[in-house]
Amino acid sequence: MDAMHADVSLKGNGAANQSRSPRLPPLLAIVGPTASGKTGLALDLAGRLPIEIVNADSRAFYRGMDVGTAKPTPAERARVPHHLIDIMEPDEPMSASRFQQLATDAIADIHGRGRIPALVGGTPQYVNAVVEGWRIPRVAPNEERRRELEREAETIGVAPILARLAAVDPESAARTGPNLRRIIRALEVFEATGVPFSKLTARGNVPFRPLEFELWLPRETLYARIDVRVDAMIANGLAEEVRSLLARGYDPALPAFSSIGYRQLVPAVAAGDDFTHAIERTKLDTHRLVRHQQTWFRRNDRLIRIDMTQAGALEQVAERSIAHCTGFLDPERGAG
């Protein structure tokens, strides 16, 4: 076996988490790229621990956007309590700061009922904002400036806009990659404050002890899973879902429609075109998203990487999670 994949703790040993006070209640975080099996593992883990799932996938917030977001099914949500799913309309804004507050409130509520919160999703920025206690700058969105930069990107491309950010805030530029929305936000904050966005998002204390897992699969396996998933979404009515949202009057320029699948299908649905090109574009863009997600995860040395190709992945996560949560679930044992 390749040494890189010989152990479940490929990247991190949780040492950073052990420095947190043992008196703080536990938080589990299960992250990984699209199609890595996060939802399934979290549901299985709920058979071992009294967990409730806090959604950290930016695409699952929106009501009416179900097929293209691969949300947990109604049966799965009935089996294990889920939070922060279907909490807003597609035209409502979401931000890292808003998510941080909503997730922190949900985590406190779950702890208050003596249960274990599990933060589950593939949006690294949102997960890190919660787990690392980011102090996010309270700079209101400047819609006029955002539209100006979006029009500029349409004309000259994203790369020059990213280079502009790199000139004033290289750390943020490295984090955002080619994600135009995040590039614009970082520029917006810098222009409003004169301080790089990366300097304003310092880490703070959090009221819990996180234990963080990254689910790992070879990219070729992920790509194959993604292609099957996209075909299933089309068969299950993704085009009809997009058509329904447009018929309800939602502007396809809304951030919600920037989600992969919706972004590619909107033009085809509006034009009445064949979906072949949109389907292939969706698959390729999701492959690219996986590469971007994995780049984020590689930067996080707290993550305990779980090789999902190996037998017993659930048992490995469960064993570490139970040990992490023992003092909270059994205070007398934890005190000893």
Work out the pLDDT band at 17, boundaries 50, 70, 90. very low
Whether the Cβ atoms of residue 143 and residue 53 lie closer than 8 Å to each other: no
Whether the Cβ atoms of residue 134 and residue 201 lie closer than 8 Å to each other: yes
Instruction: Give the per-residue pLDDT at 303.
Output: 96
Backbone angles phi, psi at 318, to 5 degrees: -65, -45
Instruction: Give the per-residue pLDDT at 195.
Output: 86
Q: Could you report the per-residue pLDDT of 130-150, keeping only the tens digit for each?
A: 999 988 877 878 889 999 999
Q: Half-sphere exposure of residue 50, counting CA atoms within 13 Å on the CB side?
A: 10
CA angle 298, 303, 304 (to 5 degrees): 120
Instruction: Give the per-residue pLDDT at 8.
Output: 43
Instruction: Give the per-residue pLDDT at 331.
Output: 64
Q: How far apart are CA 159 and CA 21, in angstroms?
A: 43
Mean pLDDT for the stretch of residues 24-31: 97
Q: How far apart are CA 245 and CA 13, in angstroms?
A: 45
Report the mean per-residue pLDDT for the chain.
88
Q: Could you report the per-residue pLDDT of 235-260, keeping only the tens digit for each?
A: 999 999 999 999 999 999 898 998 99
Q: Could you report the per-residue pLDDT of 286-311, keeping only the tens digit for each?
A: 999 999 898 888 888 999 999 999 99
Backbone angles phi, psi at 19, to 5 degrees: -75, -15
User: Is the pLDDT confidence value at 11 over 60?
Assistant: no
Q: Angle, nearest 10°, between helix axes 276-298 and 262-271?
A: 170
Instruction: Give the per-residue pLDDT at 95.
Output: 84
Whether the Cβ atoms of residue 261 and residue 229 lie closer than 8 Å to each other: no
Instruction: Give the per-residue pLDDT at 336.
Output: 36
Instruction: Give the per-residue pLDDT at 13.
Output: 44
Torsion, CA 288, CA 119, CA 50, CA 34, rounded to 10: -10
115-149 b/e (C-beta count within 10 Å ≥ 16 → b): bbbbbbbbbbbbbbbbbbbbebbebeebeeebeeb
Instruction: Give the per-residue pLDDT at 248.
Output: 94
Q: Half-sphere exposure of residue 279, counting CA atoms within 13 Å on the CB side?
A: 16
For 70, left (φ over 0), alpha (ψ -120 to 50), or beta? Answer: left
Instruction: Give the per-residue pLDDT at 124.
Output: 87
Q: Could you report the per-residue pLDDT of 80-117, keeping only the tens digit for each?
A: 999 999 999 999 988 888 999 999 999 999 999 999 99
268-281 b/e (C-beta count within 10 Å ≥ 16 → b): bbeeeeebeebbeb
Instruction: Give the per-residue pLDDT at 270.
Output: 85
Length of the chain: 336
Q: Could you report the per-residue pLDDT of 198-209, keeping only the tens digit for each?
A: 887 778 889 999
For 40-54, 139-153, 211-225, which range has the lowest pLDDT when averaged over its residues? Answer: 139-153
3-state secondary structure of 247: helix
